[in-house]
Amino acid sequence: MYRVRQTSAELSPALFGRMSAAVALSAALHAILIYGFSLSAGSGTEARLTVIHARLGPAQSAANPQPAKTTVRKQAPDSPRPAPAATAVAEPPAAPAPTLVPDEPEPAAAADDNAPRTIVPDAVYYPAKDLDIYPQASKRITPDFPRSARDAQIAGWVTLMVMIDEGGRVEGTSVVDAVPEGVFEQAAQQALANAAFYPAQKDGRTVRSRMLIKVEFDPAAAAAAQ
């Protein structure tokens, strides 16, 4: 029995043969992809069978390839683990607060009898009645006789309050009485200011003193001293 295949008058026998070969080749490739094929190991004692499963899908454009999809297998969530039981830790007892102890005063140093002693000067000017030894002039006091009184042969005297320190120096003078007034006061004070004394003593020590000293002016004695 012969089959007669009708062809279009416009197709040539050569073109029809090419199309038939292409259809047969495509069918064979699809059969291989659908039913699979097996590859045998080239060598070795144990053969392995590898089966590749493929599915036909729409052809991807080379200009805009689609990224391959990655299948992520979801894992079952881990079962919650029981939390460890809290262990109670006892806090150490608080340290007792420190007790403040006042510092003990240091014992006073024993007085050294051989240590030099500081002598504080006595600021009191003792009167003559409280002194054991009166101050004494270390040299004769000779006041200058005023020329006017000497020419007039006037005699007189001046009583002064003299302040003498513990070193015998005169620290000051003041007029208590003068006869005649206004004649010999300045000469008497000038003479005592330049005088030097041995200091007064009280209870075995030198002290300050205040003394009333009378300075006499005699024109005859002044003329004899010249």
Residue 133 lies in a domain: yes
Task: Give CA–CA dist 121/212, Å, rounded.
Answer: 23
Quote the pLDDT of residue 53. 47
Distance CA 68, CA 55 (A): 14
Sign of CA dihedral 143, 148, 152, 154: negative
**Residue 94 is assigned to a structural domain of this protein:** no
- Note the pLDDT of residue 66: 53
Query: Which has the closest alpha carbon to 173: 159, 183, 184?
Result: 159
pTM here is 0.47
pLDDT at residue 110, as a whole number = 56
CATH no. for residue 208? Answer: 3.30.2420.10
pLDDT, residue 78, reads 55
User: What Å distances lie between residue 186 and 89, 142, 144, 221, CA to CA?
Assistant: 104, 13, 10, 19
Establish if 88 belongs to a structural domain.
no
Q: What confidence score (pLDDT) does residue 35 get?
A: 60
Helix (H) or strand (E) holding 214, with range, is strand 205-217
Q: Which domain holds residue 184?
A: 125-225
**For the chain, how many structural domains are there in total?**
1
From first to last of the 226 residues of the chain, give the pLDDT tens digit. 444 444 444 556 667 677 777 778 877 776 776 665 444 444 444 444 444 444 544 544 444 555 545 444 555 555 555 554 444 444 555 555 544 444 455 555 555 666 666 666 688 999 999 999 999 999 999 999 999 999 999 999 999 999 999 999 999 999 999 999 999 999 999 999 999 999 999 999 999 999 999 999 999 988 887 7
Residue 32 lies in a domain: no
Per DSSP, 104 falls in state: P
Q: Is residue 212, in this structure, part of any structural domain at all? A: yes
Check residue 111 and give its pLDDT: 54
